[in-house]
A and B are shown apart, each in its own frame.
Chain A
Amino acid sequence: MAEKYLLLGDEALALGALHAGISGVYAYPGTPSTEITEFIQRHPLARARGIHSDWCTNEKTAMEAALGVSFAGKRSLVCMKHVGMNVCADAFVNSAVTGANGGLVIAACDDPSQHSSQNEQDSRFYASFAMMPCFEPSSQQEAYDMVREAFDYSEANHIPVLMRLTTRMAHSRAVVQPWEGIREENPMHFPAPGREKFWVTLPGISRARVKELAEEQDKFRKDSEVSEDNSFCDAPDHSLGIVTCGIAYNYLMENYPEGCPHPLLKVTRYPFPSGLLEKMARTCKTVLVIEEGQPLVEERLRGLLYDDEKGNGFIKVKGRLDGTLPRTGELNPDLVREALGIPGGPVHAKSDVTVPRPPALCQGCGHRDFYTALNAVLAKYDGAKVFGDIGCYTLGYMPPFHAIHSCVEMGASLTMAIGAANSGVWPSVGVIGDSTFTHSGMTGLLDAVNSNADITLCISDNLTTGMTGGQDSAGTGKLEKICEAIGVDPCHIRTVIPLPKNYPDMERVIEEEINYHGVSVVICRRECIQTAKRHAAQNKQTKK
């Protein structure tokens, strides 16, 4: 038997994809998905096979490149955090219309409870919306096994497949047993006659394809019902039927170590296997839906017309919508225990000594020096507003800086600054990191240039994608040239080094550019303190 490994859910998925013969992984870093791509980047098989694994500029470019791999007949994996699905949504939804040639799997890692995210959107909605099958493993072993199944299914049915993980699966380790056989990569081959036209989504063509896709939903559902990924298990106590989705199964079984006493439908694959519900629906008058994320299945089972308050004559559906489980946030064994009406054991009281310890910018971080200088300058102006962005520097909202007034999504800093400036806000300042700027800021800067918006854009360039642990940043070494090429006046592209000794210089430059009525860019460039430490340690190691 092959050697067992202790793997994160992310890593199990990555290894499964490698063993399923992918020719490329395309991704932008984002918690909790980053470790999928990093695992592939480090893996000897990926190096030996020359598998593409460089970071992409954003999730949209990643999705599109992977679709190109699929067109060429090879297998590719796309990885992102849940909100990255919004960035690539156009490509994602239309990839169901083109269909897949080589297997195409999109791994979306959702973050219920928002450990490291601005919302807790549930990617299963995207699969349903795009009429794509979706796999949602309940264990690390399943994450490993299912990804090959997903690739096979994708190729056999000419359809991309979404794999959904959540934080607690993505970032939890367990022992994984790999298969003996490692699949070869696909040879290059183009879409079969009859299917090649679907890659051109002219309305006259794609109308027929969208109809075909809708008709295929029935087949996808039937495949879901007969698949071992979904199982119905009857049990004696019919006072309640239970449906679990993904890792919710684990929290249920934690509370029933001797086995679930109620009829149980375990779902790890969609379309939802509604045929498997029939048996439960015949005998159970109440059904509890336990799902990690938003109440997608619950809402559908409940419907609008068939679940009246008293449940008269109908099946009562319980879950997040009726308060049996919390409406938001990730599940845990205790929340599920309470939902099952099982009393808890004795616990120690919460300590009244402990105080919160929120995350903060590292000591010695360049963002700190940048905010110190920016705050000193803006104190001279009434009504200055600072539009922030996504990254470590969002922590500039926290004390002692209180330096930003907004943070919405990747790239919104400078475009919101444009709109605010158009509305009379002055000074209107955008703050963005280097990686976020190339991800989604460049097009906004072109808008600013074309309308000669009165904004100052500060790019806090730490030469890496810092928040996710220091991945390569697409714009490193290119920022001045990018801004100039987009059309910013070179006299108003200024670069400073954020260090305490440079405060007077930094403040002078920022103030000059704020006072310039047009588009100006101030680049504050100093390497991330974390990657700098790592590089120093690596250099020391090499010298030895």
Chain B
Amino acid sequence: MKKDIILSGVGGQGILSIATVIGSAALEQGLHLKQAEVHGMSQRGGDVQSNLRLSTGTIFSDLIPMGGCDMIVSLEPMEALRYLPWLSKDGWVVTGTTPLVNIPDYPPMEKIMEALGRVPNLVTVDCEAIARQTGSPRSANMVLLGACAGVMGILGPEKLRDGIRNVFARKGEAVVEANIAAFDAGLEESKKTTE
């Protein structure tokens, strides 16, 4: 079994924290994993992505081939669309809906939502709003992780919660609980679409 994921967003949004949690859970489960990250210049507010590959067998390439990605997980709606050529025909797009507008020619939201609507398997979540509702506005990325947990397959929600516990443990119990609450809220929200 394998799961190839593209995590996307804008530099500074925190996609690498999502990758770290999934990575921690995967390591715990003895899965093979490769995770290509973007560091350096692109982190200055540009588009960023991370190729995250999980498998029960050997993984060769650090990069996912076109048409091979099982799931695009994006903190930003336009950035979700950027990687469509990598998405497999029956792949999932799980994306936050709050646009991050830091360029003058950002397309109109209705066009973005229309394009997302053409994706066969789509989960949209207002991560920022849900994070605020759960009382931890800085945990929008964990809301998004929760939103994709239902369709992740290779790692179930409980394993991902373990990942959150491992990664945030040194920041104290309150931070762990806030992130788990955000994760659970995202998972709950996604069920509206996936069930």
Contact = CB atoms under 8 A, between A and B. Distances in A.
B1 interface: no
Contacts of B195: none
Interface string B77-88: 011011011110
A116 B66 contact: no
B23 A6 contact: yes
Nearest to A174: B34
Contact of A355 (B37, B41, B103): B103
A175 B28 CA distance: 11
A423 interface: no
Contact of B34 (A173, A249, A350): A173
Given A347-B66, A351-B82, A357-B47, A469 B34 contact: no
A171 B36 contact: yes
Chain A interface bracket (under 10, 10 to 19, 20 to 34, 35 or more): 35 or more
B84 A168 contact: no
A460 B106 CA distance: 30
A471 interface: no
Dominant secondary structure of chain A at its interface with chain B = loop
Contacts, number: 152
A359 B48 CA distance: 10
B46 A360 contact: yes
B102 A360 contact: yes
Interface centre among A168, A173, A333 (most CB of B within 10 A): A173
Contact of B60 (A35, A251, A348, A353): A251
Contacts of B24: 6
B115 A353 contact: yes
A171 B38 contact: yes
Given A347-B85, A353-B78, A353-B107, A171 B37 contact: yes
B135 interface: no
Nearest to B113: A353
B105 A359 contact: no
Contacts of B41: 31, 115-116, 359, 467
A468 B40 contact: yes
A395 interface: yes
A303 interface: no
A345 B67 contact: yes
A142 interface: no
A356 B60 CA distance: 30
A175 B33 CA distance: 7
Interface of B: 10-11, 23-24, 26-27, 32-47, 51, 59-68, 78-79, 81-82, 84-87, 89, 102-103, 105-107, 111-112, 115, 119
Interface of A: 4, 6, 8, 31-32, 34-35, 115-116, 168-169, 171-175, 247, 249-254, 257, 332-334, 337, 344-362, 392, 395, 467-469
